[in-house]
C-alpha cells in the first residue's frame, strides 16, 4: 500500500497540529462522529456534515476514512442507508483506503433491529468468516475504495469453541482479500485481559496485508485494560510496536488515536510528542517495503462475495444466536441459545454493561447538558444515576446523541413530581428538548421563562444550582428552517 506516514484521527481539538505537514503526514476521519441521525418517514436517515468534511479536505495531507458505525463483523446491517453519506465522505475526502471494525453493533429480533450501544465482538467461526468477507466486499462496493478491517478489542474470555484471534483475523483477511488495520492497542488490551498474546496473533496473520497501524493509550476498569483512547501510548506498547513495524512490508500509515475528552490529560504538546515517537517507528519500516498498491482491492474481483455465495452451509443461525445471546447477556436477560448460555458467566459481560451505560450517560451529558447539570445538582449523584438506570432498563440505546437524548427528555417530561420540585428543571428541560426537536423534526416551539435564562445557565456552567434569581418573565421562540 502507498506509504503515507504518521498521523492523527481527526478531532477539531487537534486542529492546531494539522498545519504542520512534517509532523502530521496523514489525517484519518471517522465520519459518523459528525453525522446526525434524523427521523425520515417511517425510518431514519443520516445527515452528514459536509461543511466540516470540506474543511478537512483542504488540508494537503492524504486522508483515510475510518468507519465507526457500520462494522463488518456481524449479520445485522444498519437499517438506515449509510451508503449516500459514506459516498459523500469519500467524494469529499478522496481517502487512499477506508477501514471499518470487525465487530457488530446491532441485533435483529424478529423484525426489530436494535442498537447494541457499543461495538461488540463477533462470533469467531467459519460462518463468521464468510459473513465478514461478504460485508467487507459490500463496503468496498459502496465506497469504491480499498478496504481494511480493524483488529478489534474483545473483553470476553477466549472460548474453546471459537477460532483463536490470530486465525480469525487471518481467515477473514484471506477470504475477503482485503487489508488489515492492525490496532496494536486493541491486541495489547486483549492480551492483558486474558486473550491471545500479541506475538501469537501476529504469527498467524498475513503481515503483508497490514496497511495501517493504530496506537493509543487506555485505562483500567475493574481489572480490565480498556481501549479508551485516553492517554499516551504505554511505553511497553511502543517497544512492541518497534518490533512489529519492521515486519510489515506494505505498511502505509501509523496513526495515533486520542479522544478529545481525554486531551487535557496529555495536552496538545503531548500529542505532538506522540507523533514524534511515531515518526521514529515509521523510520523502522523494512527497507524493501513495497511502495505500490497491493493486489488486494475488494472491488477488483469480489472474491469474498463469490466465496460466501459458494459456501453451502454458512450457518447464519449460529451467528444470530451469538449476537442475540451476547446482547441479551449484557442486558441481563436470559440467553436463549443453549450453546451460548455460558456467555452470561463471562466476567467481560459486566465490563460491556458498564461501557454501554457510560456511553449512554455521556450522550445525554452532551445533548442535555444543562438538564443533566440540574439533575446532578438537585438530586445528587446517586439519585440521578438511579433515575437514568430506570430509563435505561426500559429503553434501547441509540449511538446518536440526539435520539438518545430525545428519548430521555420524553421520559423526564413525565416525571411531574421531580419537575415540580426541582427549581428551573422544567424550563431548562423544555428548552433543551425544544432544541433537539427542532433539530430532529424541524419542530418550532415557544417557551416561557420565569427568569433570565442566561443567568440560569451561568449558574449551571459554574457548577451551582441557580438560586435567588429575580423574576423576569420572558418568552423565547425556537424555529427550525
38: which 3 cell numbers?
434524523
Closest CA to 201 of 227, 233, 164: 164
213 binds other proteins (CB under 8 A): no
Task: By CB under 8 A, tell whether 35 contacts other proteins.
Answer: yes
Could you give the CA distance from residue 84 to residue 143 in angstroms, rounded to a whole number? Answer: 9
Q: How far apart are CA 212 and CA 191, in angstroms?
A: 20
113 secondary structure, DSSP code = E
The answer to whether residue 278 forms part of the interface with other proteins (CB under 8 A) is: no
| Least distance between other proteins and beta carbon 426 (Å) | 17
Minimum CB distance to other proteins, residue 373 (Å): 7
Does 265 help bind other proteins (rule: CB under 8 A)? yes
366 is an interface residue for other proteins by CB under 8 A: yes
Measured between alpha carbons, how far is 349 from 351 in angstroms, rounded to an integer?
Answer: 5
> Minimum distance between the CB of residue 95 and other proteins, rounded to whole angstroms?
18
Closest of 193, 195, 192, 150 to residue 169, by C-alpha: 150
Footprint (CB under 8 A) of other proteins, residues 418-437: 432, 435-436
474 binds other proteins (CB under 8 A): yes
* Residue ranges with strand state E in 267-308: none
Q: 42, exposed or middle or buried, with CB in 10 Å at 0-12, 13-18, 19+? A: exposed
Q: Find, among 177, 251, 181, the residue nearest to 215 by Cα.
A: 181
Q: Are 437 and 415 in contact (CB under 8 A)?
A: no
**How near is the Cβ of 127 to other proteins at its closest, in Å?**
23
Q: Mask: binding to other proteins, 175-194, rule CB under 8 A, as x and -?
A: -----------x--------
Which residue number, 301 or 472, has a Cβ lying nearer to other proteins? 472
- For other proteins, give the closer residue by CB, 105 or 274: 105
Q: How far is CA 57 from CA 5, 15, 51, 63, 401, in A?
A: 17, 13, 10, 8, 25
Considering only residues 296, 372, 422, 426, which one is a binding residue for other proteins as defined by CB under 8 A? Answer: 372
Binding of residue 159 to other proteins (CB under 8 A)? no
Question: Which of 34, 256, 322, 340 lies at the binding interface for other proteins (CB under 8 A)?
Answer: 34
- Give dist(CA 419, CA 9) in Å, integer: 41
Contact with other proteins (CB under 8 A) among 72, 93, 153, 314: 153
Does 463 interact with other proteins (rule: CB under 8 A)? yes
Contact between residue 103 and residue 172 where contact means Cβ atoms under 8 Å apart:
no
3-state secondary structure of 381: helix
* Residue 284 found at the interface with other proteins (CB under 8 A): no
Subset of 48-87 contacting other proteins (CB under 8 A) = 49, 51-52, 68-69
| 233 contacts other proteins (rule: CB under 8 A) | no
Question: Among 39, 47, 84, 339, which residue sits at the site for other proteins (rule: CB under 8 A)?
Answer: 47
Q: Write out the H or E segment, with its range, that includes residue 257.
A: strand 253-257
C-alpha cell at 36: 446526525
* Segment 289 to 328, residues that bind other proteins, using CB under 8 A: none
Is residue 261 a contact residue for other proteins (CB under 8 A)?
yes
Nearer to other proteins, 85 or 305 (CB): 85
**Is 387 among the residues that bind other proteins (CB under 8 A)?**
no
Amino acid at each position: 500500500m502507498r506509504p503515507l506516514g504518521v498521523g492523527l484521527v481527526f478531532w477539531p481539538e487537534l486542529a492546531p497540529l494539522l498545519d504542520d505537514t512534517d509532523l502530521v503526514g496523514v489525517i484519518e476521519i471517522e465520519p459518523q462522529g459528525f453525522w446526525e441521525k434524523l427521523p425520515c418517514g417511517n425510518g431514519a436517515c443520516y445527515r452528514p456534515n459536509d461543511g466540516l468534511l470540506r474543511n478537512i479536505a483542504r488540508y494537503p495531507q492524504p486522508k483515510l476514512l475510518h468507519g465507526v458505525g457500520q462494522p463488518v463483523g456481524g449479520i445485522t446491517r444498519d437499517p438506515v442507508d449509510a451508503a449516500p453519506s459514506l459516498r459523500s465522505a469519500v467524494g469529499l475526502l478522496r481517502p487512499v483506503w477506508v477501514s471499518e471494525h470487525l465487530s457488530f453493533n446491532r441485533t435483529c429480533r424478529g423484525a426489530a433491529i436494535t442498537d447494541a450501544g457499543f461495538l461488540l465482538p463477533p462470533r469467531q467461526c467459519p460462518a463468521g468468516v464468510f459473513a465478514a468477507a461478504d460485508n467487507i466486499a459490500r463496503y468496498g462496493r459502496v465506497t469504491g475504495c480499498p478496504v481494511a478491517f480493524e483488529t478489534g478489542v474483545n473483553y470476553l474470555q477466549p472460548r474453546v469453541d471459537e477460532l483463536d484471534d490470530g486465525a480469525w483475523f487471518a481467515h477473514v483477511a484471506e477470504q475477503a482479500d482485503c487489508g488489515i488495520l492492525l490496532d496494536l492497542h486493541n491486541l495489547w488490551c486483549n492480551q492483558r485481559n486474558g486473550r491471545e498474546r500479541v506475538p501469537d496473533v501476529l504469527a498467524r496473520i498475513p503481515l503483508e496485508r497490514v496497511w495501517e497501524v493504530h496506537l493509543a493509550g487506555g485505562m483500567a476498569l475493574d481489572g480490565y485494560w480498556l481501549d479508551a483512547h485516553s492517554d499516551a501510548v504505554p511505553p511497553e506498547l511502543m517497544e512492541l510496536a518497534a518490533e512489529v513495524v519492521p515486519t510489515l512490508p506494505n505498511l502505509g500509515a501509523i496513526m495515533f488515536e486520542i479522544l478529545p475528552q481525554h486531551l487535557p490529560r496529555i495536552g496538545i504538546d503531548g500529542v505532538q510528542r506522540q507523533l514524534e515517537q511515531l515518526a521514529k517507528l515509521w523510520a523502522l519500516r523494512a527497507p524493501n517495503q513495497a511502495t505500490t498498491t497491493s493486489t488486494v482491492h475488494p472491488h477488483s474481483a469480489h472474491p469474498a462475495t463469490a466465496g460466501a455465495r459458494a459456501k453451502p452451509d454458512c450457518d447464519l443461525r449460529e451467528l444470530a444466536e451469538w449476537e442475540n445471546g451476547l446482547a441479551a447477556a449484557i442486558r441481563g436477560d436470559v440467553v436463549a441459545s443453549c450453546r451460548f448460555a455460558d456467555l452470561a458467566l463471562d466476567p467481560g459481560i459486566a465490563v460491556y454493561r458498564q461501557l454501554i451505560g457510560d456511553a449512554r450517560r455521556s450522550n445525554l451529558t452532551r445533548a442535555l447538558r444543562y438538564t443533566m447539570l440540574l439533575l446532578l445538582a438537585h438530586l445528587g449523584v446517586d439519585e440521578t444515576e438511579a433515575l437514568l438506570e430506570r430509563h435505561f432498563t426500559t429503553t434501547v440505546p441509540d449511538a446518536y446523541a440526539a435520539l438518545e437524548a430525545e428519548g430521555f427528555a420524553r421520559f423526564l417530561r413525565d416525571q411531574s413530581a421531580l419537575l415540580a420540585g426541582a427549581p428551573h428543571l422544567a424550563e431548562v428541560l423544555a428548552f433543551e428538548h425544544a432544541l433537539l426537536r427542532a433539530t430532529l423534526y424541524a419542530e418550532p416551539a415557544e417557551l416561557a421563562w420565569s427568569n433570565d435564562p442566561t443567568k440560569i445557565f451561568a449558574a449551571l456552567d459554574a457548577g451551582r444550582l441557580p438560586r435567588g434569581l429575580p423574576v423576569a418573565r420572558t418568552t423565547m421562540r425556537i424555529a427550525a428552517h
